[in-house]
Structure 1
Amino acid sequence: MRLKNIPFKEGKLNVDIENEDMPFVVVYCQGEAKLTYLPNHGETKVITHQGRVKRVKFDEGEEF
């Protein structure tokens, strides 16, 4: 799975952005935070339903 759990305490989320050299997204829903890196090319969609995140969909396409 591409999404990694991010542990946090006391309502504070710490992500070290100094060591990251790729673009990334943090998704927070229902007390859980998850981080995923974005692909070099393609689309990444966050699918929601009734105010909750249901899935994160990656469409990197095909090379011709």
Structure 2
Amino acid sequence: MSRTVAVVLGVLCIAMGLLWTFQGLGYVGGSPMTGVTLWAVVGPVLALAGLALVVVGGRARRRE
């Protein structure tokens, strides 16, 4: 996986994780996910996985 792909995928995971967290906590309405505790737990897990992807992608050395 290239560095750019890892970082972009990581940022998308962070964004989705934050959205799911806020929906699960009831801060973002208009979805069947709103107020469901499962999403308040899954969201931070996804955000942390995305953060790990960003860190790994940012530290990966380019092959020459």
Q: TM-score, normalised by structure 2?
A: 0.29
Instruction: Point out which structure has higher relative CO (alpha carbons under 8 A, 6+ apart).
Output: 2
Structure showing greater Rg = 2
Q: TM-score, normalised by structure 1?
A: 0.29
Indicate the structure with greater strand content. Answer: 1
Indicate the structure with greater helix content. Answer: 2
